[in-house]
Amino acid sequence: MVTMAPHRSLRLLLASAIASGIAATSLTAGHPAQADEGDKAVLTVAVSQSVDSLSPFLAQRLVSTSIHRLTYEYLTNYDVKDARPIPGLATAWKASPDKLTWTYTIRTNSTWSDGKKATAEDAAWTFNKMMTDDNAATANGSYTANFEKVTAPDPRTLVIKLKKPQATMTALDVPIVPKHIWETVGDFSKFNNDKQFPIVGNGPFIITDYRVDQYVRLKPNKTFWRGAPKFDELVLRYYKDGDAAVAALRKGEVSFVPNLTPAQAASLKSAEDIKVNDAPGRRFYALATNPGARSKDGKKFGNGHPALLDPAVRKALFLAVDRKTIVDKVFQGHAVEGEGYIPPRFASYFWKPQGAQKLAHDPARAERMLDEAGYRKNSGGKRVGKDGRPLDFRILCHATDPNDKAVGKYLQEWWGKLGIGLKVECLDNVSDPWLKGDYDLAFDGWSVNPDPDYVLSIHTCAALPATPKDTGATDNFICDKRYDELYAKQAVEYDPAKRAQLVKQLQSRLYDTGYMNVMAYPNAVEAYRTDHIRSITTMPQAAGNLWGQDGYWSWWSAQPAASGDDQDSGSSAGLLIGAGSAAALLLAAGIAFAVRRRSTADDRE
């Protein structure tokens, strides 16, 4: 669940980032700098998350969906300033009075990179494929589930008929693929679109080469209708170790590094020719509580702690969490204190609890609440339920995410004072126990799109797995009638203000259930070299992120620095090696000494 979910990707990014640090360092050390071959302006971006698939029908990770944003047009795009829907492949759209038929006008000036025109026929084929082939619906099937019929009466017109109204019709995050290329694909569950290069697309960039966990190369699409990007090449280069990526940035081997730690950001701020971008992110970081895992057929499974089914326990746990300390200490200010489900960056949907509803940090109230609910402390200071079972919880933590471990330490101490035990279970692969429902609590986080439908849909009963053996789209097995009613209402509401109101009510309901407790909204902390990149557009333009945007704005808009300063090629791992060398030297001395002793002893034999 956690690893495969779309847009939950920062987490994954971090996960894979650290997974094979040493291997990556030695790997990157072998490569000399690639930037500026001749007079080519190359924009190199350090990435760590592995590509799951280059097929738009399968790709769910942030790195892959970001690549697809760059290489395929979607019907609509998001405005760089305020994320409202703006023309993409479609130049205009309108809904019929009964809200069930949507007509899109397709632009005439978009061409596939092999010279053919992009038409409504391509879009219709893409949607029809997703509707008829389950394997093609893996990544974005939620958008087309409610489609009844998609047709292209002429090359410039796309008509989508719906079963019932759908609010996401101007935010269909589905890459439109060229029909004439994809028609020949047999099994969509196996085709990864990574054999024949360049890959035919109509976005601002074209993929020219890709090697697993080494690089993805893209060249600008000179015929892109909005104008060709300014850089001569865009390379996503793999650095599985964050420190190695930062060292490469300092050396000038890469131009951009995302996901910095607070210490890295602080030290890069004073570095020459490097700009640190610290902006509100589009992600939330939450504490998920197992509501008793179940499937659609009513079967219960997993071994979540029964005490967590008591709302008082869930509330008490969250009352003891000091969100301000988490922001100040763990994120060191590079985050905003958690409130509702949707980050404040999406102002129209942002909701925060007021007055009595708010569970502010109040350990004394948590104690009272637990006492009243019958969880008394025993002689050992441990809280025990009426059934005699002590409140000892487990929390699922991503072994590769330092924030999980850090927050876990705080939770242990805060809840320890309440008399509640906590075992921090850090795993490389949290998906297995998560999908089986074998957890009490878990660290959870999602990147939120400008249209919140997706992140809201994962908490509906409809998202539960069909049987305990299946995998559902559900995030945390939440199934709440009141929530589902509100979700259904907002999904068919076309009036933005009214829909926003419903989305806020949804968040309020989710907050009250206590199953998803948002602790913080982490910032996007990233850095780039100003001697490589003269200017680049963040999203939102005022204060926003560069990596993982809901559009192609950052890389499309990036302007190369004029001088094209040459960088020296050096070992990016130098720093790491240097730091460890003191210890290694001492060790080597010890071994050498021991060996010498042995040899003298042998000589005497």
Partner 1 sequence: MTTRSLLWRRRRDSVARFWRRFRTHRAGLYGLGALALIALVALGAPLLVGGDVQSVTNAPGTALESPSARFPLGTDQFGRSLLGLLVWGARVSLAVGLLAAALSVAIGTLVGILAGHYGGWFSTIVMRITDWFLVMPSLVLAIVLATVMSRSMWTVILAIGITSWPTTARLVRAQTIAVESRPYIERATALGGGHGHIMSRHVLPNVMPLVLSQTTLCISTAILTEATLAFLGLGDPTVVSWGGMLQDAREAGAVSSGHWWYLAPPGIAIAVVALAFTLCGRAIESVLNPRLGAGR
In the complex, least distance from residue 402 CB atom to partner 1, rounded to whole angstroms: 4
For partner 1, give the closer residue by CB, 309 or 594: 594
In the complex, least distance from residue 263 CB atom to partner 1, rounded to whole angstroms: 4
In the complex, least distance from residue 184 CB atom to partner 1, rounded to whole angstroms: 42
For partner 1, give the closer residue by CB, 98 or 605: 605
Residue 517 is encoded by which pair of tokens? 């407790």
Sequence-ordered alpha helix ranges (H) in 5-61: 9-19, 21-30
In the complex, least distance from residue 413 CB atom to partner 1, rounded to whole angstroms: 5
Task: Say if CB 554 and CB 313 are below 8 A apart.
Answer: no
In the complex, least distance from residue 383 CB atom to partner 1, rounded to whole angstroms: 19
In the complex, least distance from residue 319 CB atom to partner 1, rounded to whole angstroms: 16
Distance CA 563, CA 277 (A): 23
For partner 1, give the closer residue by CB, 309 or 585: 585
For partner 1, give the closer residue by CB, 568 or 603: 603
Distance CA 284, CA 160 (A): 33
Q: Is 76 helix (H, G, I), strand (E, B) or coil?
A: strand
Q: Is 448 helix (H, G, I), strand (E, B) or coil?
A: coil
In the complex, least distance from residue 289 CB atom to partner 1, rounded to whole angstroms: 20
For partner 1, give the closer residue by CB, 428 or 470: 428
Say what the alpha-carbon torsion angle 256, 260, 263, 264 is, to the nearest 10 degrees: -20
For partner 1, give the closer residue by CB, 44 or 400: 400
Distance CA 8, CA 2 (A): 7
Distance CA 232, CA 165 (A): 44
For partner 1, give the closer residue by CB, 11 or 504: 11
* Cα angle 592, 598, 599; round to 5: 90
In the complex, least distance from residue 396 CB atom to partner 1, rounded to whole angstroms: 12
For partner 1, give the closer residue by CB, 292 or 574: 574
Q: How far does CA 298 lie from the centroid of its chain?
A: 31
Distance CA 128, CA 117 (A): 19
For partner 1, give the closer residue by CB, 354 or 600: 600
Task: Look at the block and give the residue holding tokens 């009638």.
Answer: 481
Q: Which residues of the chain form contacts with partner 1 (CB under 8 A)?
A: 18, 21, 242-244, 246-247, 250, 260-264, 266-268, 325, 329, 332, 397, 399-400, 402, 405-406, 408-410, 412-414, 424-428, 575-576, 579-580, 582-583, 586-587, 589-591, 593-594, 597-598, 600-601, 604-605
**CA distances (Å), origin 501, targets 350, 458, 508:** 10, 19, 11
Sequence-ordered alpha helix ranges (H) in 439-542: 453-457, 481-491, 496-513
Q: End-to-end distance of the chain based on CA atoms, in angstroms?
A: 63
In the complex, least distance from residue 534 CB atom to partner 1, rounded to whole angstroms: 25
In the complex, least distance from residue 433 CB atom to partner 1, rounded to whole angstroms: 11
Contacts with 305 (C-beta within 8 Å, 6 or more apart), sequence order? 290, 391, 392, 393, 394, 440
Distance CA 568, CA 250 (A): 11
For partner 1, give the closer residue by CB, 325 or 508: 325
Distance CA 202, CA 116 (A): 10
Of residues 380, 390, 420, 424, the one with CA closest to residue 404: 424
For partner 1, give the closer residue by CB, 93 or 410: 410
For partner 1, give the closer residue by CB, 207 or 276: 276
In the complex, least distance from residue 50 CB atom to partner 1, rounded to whole angstroms: 18
For partner 1, give the closer residue by CB, 153 or 590: 590
Residue 488 is encoded by which pair of tokens? 């259904």
In the complex, least distance from residue 415 CB atom to partner 1, rounded to whole angstroms: 11
In the complex, least distance from residue 551 CB atom to partner 1, rounded to whole angstroms: 29
Contacts with 277 (C-beta within 8 Å, 6 or more apart), sequence order? 524, 525, 526, 527, 528, 538, 545, 546
Task: Say if CB 304 and CB 290 are below 8 A apart.
Answer: yes
Residue 82: exposed, middle, or buried by beta-carbon count in 10 A (0-12, 13-18, 19+)? middle
Distance CA 5, CA 28 (A): 29
Distance CA 53, CA 277 (A): 29
